[in-house]
């Protein structure tokens, strides 16, 4: 039993590292198994297909990220401060990834959206659910800020989408320029997008 | 001569369609040649490698897109209207792509950034140059708007980056949800990001 679940964990962990590094399409099952140090036969014992593995990697990553987002966005801090902390921790995570593997790897979900969403409906659906949940979580913080009269938004769901889109766009640039500091623009941009009334920082400040 | 340049054109055109559909990593030279209807031998006559082909596809796409951006952003319209037209034509192009191939294919440069930028330095460098030029073009429109006192930005270059990041983020969502209408949020968001003083539309309006 111990060995069995070890092998699954090793495959998942190798696949995750390889997907972060090189995307999904370029990977083969043989290569994943080699990196994981498990025989190819065990792959199909745990995963029906490479797509099933991709879904498992996505789920594992989302479980961890959702835990972080929940901790940050449901804290007792003021709503806008919670959003700020989310952006700061995202930047710190990208910086840590860069230190450990040399490059800013970006957002796994954004990466896979642009690489895979038009290729497998199962992956597209899962990524849609994840982004929808992220938007809901941000929406609920924005609704708190609206209640405190700290922001001006006509539609908090649409505003949440715009904040997450801004985050994804800046993560794309952080990856392109291999520079996590690009993410420092997200906070002032979020304030501008939300028409925030408190410590308003102009874009580019 | 005629036949020779035909073959190069056919390879480029097939590669472009396949990259839009399935990304770069999953493609093989044999598949591209088959789709182009040219013998595999002619591939290496025109392109040193698959990477060289990718760069040629990127350059060709950018030449066309740069022509459109220049036409729109250097027109005689008011600065903010030029930006609005850019977003509207981007949405229209994504919608046209969706009609012709069934899915919103997104931004080729954004797609390749997330798929390839950590894999080949030549592609990363080319994509950096393209996004830098896009940011410069938007920056110059924002500077016009600043001169007319229509927007409030502390740093027009940084503001331009934020506008392009917002556009890329919303294109990502348009692709994920296969829904070009997501792009209609870019214009009000751009106004918010620039602290526009004229027809201010709130986020989510």
Q: What confidence score (pLDDT) does residue B199 get?
A: 52
- The more confidently predicted of residues A204 and B162 is B162
Nearest CA in chain A to B117: A176
For residue A201, the model assigns a pLDDT of: 47
Residue with token string 């990977």: A27
* pLDDT at residue A21 in the model: 82
Question: Would you report the helix, strand and coil content of chain A in percent, each value rounded to 5?
Answer: 75, 0, 25
Look up the CATH number of the domain holding residue A25: 1.10.10.60
Establish whether this prediction's ipTM goes over 0.85. yes
Query: Who among A114, A153, A175 is closest to B175 (CB)?
Result: A114
**Are both A172 and A115 inside the same structural domain?**
yes
My answer on whether B76 and B8 are in the same domain is: no
Do B39 and B68 lie in a common domain? Answer: no
Rounded-to-integer distance, Cα B169 and Cα B163, Å = 10
Q: Are residues A144 and A55 in the same domain?
A: yes
**Residues of B with Cβ-Cβ distance to A146 under 8 angstroms:** none
B99 lies in which domain range? Answer: 51-193
In a domain, A199, yes or no: no
Facing B192 at nearest CB: one of A21, A110, A193: A193
Contacts of A127 in chain B (CB under 8 A): 176
pLDDT at B27: 87
Q: Which two tokens stand for residue A80?
A: 């806008």
* Dihedral of the alpha carbons of A138, A141, A143, A146, in degrees to the nearest 10: -120
Same structural domain, B111 and B189:
yes
In this structure, the answer to whether residues A148 and A94 fall within a common structural domain is yes
Quick one: A106 and A179 in the same domain?
Answer: yes
Identify the CA nearest to B122 among candidates B66, B52, B63, B57. B52
Looking at the domain assignment, is residue B166 inside a domain? Answer: yes
What pLDDT does B1 receive? 41
Residues A114, B26: C-beta atoms closer than 8 Å? no
Taking the C-alpha atoms of residue B109 and residue B23, their distance in angstroms, rounded to an integer, is 11
The encoded tokens of residue A143 equal 């609704």
Indicate the range of A1-10, A98-107, B31-40, B98-107 predicted with least confidence.
A1-10
Same domain, A14 and A55: no
C-beta contacts of A78-83 below 8 A and 24+ residues apart: A78/A148, A78/A150, A79/A141, A79/A142, A79/A144, A79/A145, A79/A148, A79/A150, A80/A145, A80/A150, A80/A151, A80/A191, A80/A194, A80/A196, A80/A198, A82/A141, A83/A138, A83/A141, A83/A163, A83/A187, A83/A190
Q: What is the mean pLDDT of residues B5-18?
A: 91
Is B201 a domain residue? no
Q: Which residues of A touch B110 (CB under 8 A)?
A: 114, 172
Q: Are residues B8 and B41 in the same domain?
A: yes
Instruction: Tell me, yes or no, whether B70 lies in a domain.
Output: yes
**Measured in Å, how far apart are chain B's first and last C-alpha atoms?**
56
pLDDT, tens digit, 9 for 90 and up, residues A16-73: 999 888 888 888 999 999 999 999 889 999 999 999 999 999 999 999 999 999 999 9
The residue among A13, A29, A47 that closes a domain is A47
* pLDDT at residue B122, as a whole number: 93
- Interchain contact, B114 vs A172, CB within 8 Å: yes
> Mean pLDDT across the stretch B96-121?
87
Q: From chain A, pick out residues whose CB is under 8 angstroms from the CB of B128.
A: 176-177
- The enclosing domain of B75 has a CATH number of 1.10.357.10
Domains of chain B: total? 2
Of A106, A119, A156, the CB nearest to B114: A106
Helix, strand counts (H, E) of chain B: 9, 0
Nearest-by-CA chain A residue for B165: A169
CB pairs under 8 A between A and B: 183
Span B59-87, pLDDT tens digits? 999 999 999 999 999 999 999 999 999 99
Q: Domain check: are A36 and A112 in the same one?
A: no
Cα–Cα distance for residue pair B87/A67, rounded to 1 Å: 36
Q: Long-range CB contacts (< 8 A, 24+ apart) of B32-35?
A: none
A31 and A59 within one domain: no
Whether residue B70 sits in one domain with residue B30: no
Name the average pLDDT for chain B.
91
């Amino acid at each position: 039993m111990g060995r069995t679940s070890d092998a699954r964990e090793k495959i998942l962990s190798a696949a995750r590292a390889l997907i972060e590094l090189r995307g999904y399409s370029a990977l083969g099952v043989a290569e994943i198994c080699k990196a994981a140090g498990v025989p190819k036969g065990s792959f199909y014992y745990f995963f029906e297909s490479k797509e099933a593995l991709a879904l498992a990697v996505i789920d594992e990553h989302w479980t961890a990220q959702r835990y972080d987002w929940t901790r940050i966005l449901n804290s007792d801090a003021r709503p806008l401060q919670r959003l700020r902390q989310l952006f700061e921790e995202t930047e710190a995570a990208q910086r840590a990834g860069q230190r450990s593997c040399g490059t800013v790897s970006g957002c796994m979900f954004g990466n896979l959206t642009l690489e895979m969403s038009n290729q497998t409906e199962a992956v597209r659906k899962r990524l849609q659910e994840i982004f929808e949940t992220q938007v809901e979580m941000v929406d609920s913080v924005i609704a708190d800020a609206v209640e405190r009269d700290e922001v001006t938004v006509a539609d908090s769901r649409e505003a949440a989408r715009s904040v997450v889109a801004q985050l994804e766009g800046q993560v794309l640039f952080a990856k392109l320029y291999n520079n996590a500091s690009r993410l420092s623009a997200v906070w002032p941009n979020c304030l501008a997008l939300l028409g925030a009334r408190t410590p308003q920082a102009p874009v580019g400040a």
